[in-house]
């Protein structure tokens, strides 16, 4: 009797559920965000929302124009590491693609921004492997800068005073930044280590999603190592100073927003504002650049120094800050996406998976 072998099911045709660890990560971030928001809001007084809107309403057109101009400068600086890591990519194209990716990060699920960036770079003649390696390196240096930020805040504040709490935050954040740098350096220096890490990660992921191929993950990690090994240290050396300037521009936007709503230097010095902003900047790890959480933390820190009577004006300033720092990149990204779709062949806009994706 002949046994008929049934064909194995095609897992790629079956809709895949998001890996369990993604749901766990989202849940943990949500709980942490709610806990942080509750604790921070309890630190400040009851907000006078009438005063908040009055603070926003009296801003003039030139003040908004200046803030928007600074946001544009910030966005260019934010995109420059792509130029350092991807040979042949111009500043204008790096900035344009970064705005599109920023928009995708606001409206689409995680990794959509990375996939979109790769699609755009591929349409400009940059192969997928180089685009993925450059994009990954860009993310790594941004994470380094994010965790270096509190140290910058402490150094800025030293010109006026020393704050032990800020120093503890800076010390812990610096450890994270160094760990990210060392981890990236080890991977770029050893192809064997890159393959081993990729294969190990693939095996772990396979327990959650059976369609994952560990060898493909190993190959993707080795490809990253091969494409970025000779540019990693130089790229980091150029990127970190660039991103530090970007952080200072971002802090200046917050400073000007606070000044424009009527908080004078006699109430809060520029040093206090910039230092506090840089120390709380790691809270941008939450969705939409930590909206709500970073804002509440900054208001709490500044009212501790300037007094709770400044709270309504500071909230008004953060509303202004969010309008320009989220709205401007979103508008720039939307204009770029529309233009790119209009000027590229539809075949070049077919979604591609950023390796590895199983």
Tens-digit pLDDT profile for residues 8-57: 444 444 444 445 555 555 566 556 555 555 555 554 445 555 555 665 66
The pLDDT value given to residue 229 = 66
Instruction: Quote the CA–CA distance of 283 and 267 in Å, as a whole number.
Output: 25
Instruction: Quote the CA–CA distance of 114 and 111 in Å, as a whole number.
Output: 5
| pTM, rounded to two decimals | 0.77
The pLDDT value given to residue 288 = 78
**Other beta carbons within 10 Å of 179:** 12
Report how far apart, in Å, the C-alpha atoms of 14 and of each of 18, 27, 115, 144, 214 are.
Answer: 13, 25, 21, 38, 20
**Other beta carbons within 10 Å of 145:** 22
The pLDDT value given to residue 346 = 61
Number of separate helices (H) and strands (E) present in the chain: 14, 0
Instruction: Quote the CA–CA distance of 327 and 323 in Å, as a whole number.
Output: 5
Q: What is the DSSP string of 307-335?
A: -GGGHHHHHHHHHHHHHHHHHHHHHHHHH
- Residues of the chain with pLDDT below 70 are 1-57, 110-111, 190, 194, 197-198, 200-202, 204-213, 216-230, 345-358
The pLDDT value given to residue 12 = 42
Residue 222 class from Cβ within 10 Å (0-12 exposed, 13-18 middle, 19+ buried)? Answer: buried
Q: For Cα atoms 250, 31, 289, give the angle at the middle one, nearest 5 degrees.
A: 15
Instruction: Quote the CA–CA distance of 204 and 180 in Å, as a whole number.
Output: 21
Tokens matching residue 323: 């309008």
**Other beta carbons within 10 Å of 16:** 11
| Residue 195 near residue 2, CB atoms below 8 Å | no
**Could you give phi then psi for residue 77, rounded to 5 degrees?**
-60, -40
Tokens matching residue 68: 């928007």
Q: Helix, strand or coil for residue 350?
A: coil
Q: Helix, strand or coil for residue 89?
A: coil
Q: What is the DSSP letter of 118?
A: H
Instruction: Quote the CA–CA distance of 138 and 83 in Å, as a whole number.
Output: 9
């Amino acid at each position: 009797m002949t046994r008929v072998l049934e064909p194995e099911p095609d897992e790629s045709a079956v809709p895949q559920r998001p890996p369990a660890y993604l749901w766990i990560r989202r849940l943990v971030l949500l709980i942490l965000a709610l806990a942080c928001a509750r604790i921070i809001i309890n630190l400040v007084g009851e907000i006078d929302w009438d005063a908040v809107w009055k603070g926003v309403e009296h801003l003039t057109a030139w003040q908004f124009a200046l803030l928007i101009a600074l946001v544009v400068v910030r966005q260019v600086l934010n995109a420059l590491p792509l130029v350092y890591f991807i040979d042949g990519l111009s500043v204008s194209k790096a900035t344009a693609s970064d705005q599109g990716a920023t928009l995708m990060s606001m409206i689409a699920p995680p990794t959509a921004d990375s996939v979109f960036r790769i699609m755009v770079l591929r349409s400009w003649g940059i192969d997928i492997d180089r685009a993925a390696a450059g994009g990954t390196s860009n993310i790594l240096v941004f994470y380094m800068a994010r965790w270096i930020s509190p140290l910058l805040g402490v150094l800025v504040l030293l010109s006026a005073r020393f704050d032990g709490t800020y120093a503890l935050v800076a010390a812990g954040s610096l450890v994270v930044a160094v760990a990210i740098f060392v981890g990236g350096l080890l991977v770029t220096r050893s192809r064997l280590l890159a393959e081993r890490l990729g294969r190990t990660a693939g095996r772990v992921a396979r327990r959650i999603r059976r369609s994952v191929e560990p060898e493909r993950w190993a190959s993707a990690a080795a490809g990253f190592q091969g494409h970025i090994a000779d540019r990693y240290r130089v790229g980091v050396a150029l990127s970190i100073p660039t991103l530090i300037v970007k952080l200072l521009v971002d802090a200046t936007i917050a400073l000007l927003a606070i000044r424009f709503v009527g908080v004078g230097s006699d109430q809060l010095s520029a040093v206090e504002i910039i230092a506090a902003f840089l120390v709380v900047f790691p809270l941008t790890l939450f969705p939409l650049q930590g909206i709500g959480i970073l804002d509440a933390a900054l208001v709490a820190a500044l009212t501790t120094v300037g007094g709770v009577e400044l709270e309504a004006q500071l909230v008004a300033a953060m509303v202004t800050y969010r309008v320009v720092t989220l709205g401007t990149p979103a508008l720039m990204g939307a204009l770029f996406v529309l233009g790119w779709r209009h000027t590229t062949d539809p075949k070049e806009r077919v979604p591609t998976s950023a390796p590895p994706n199983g």
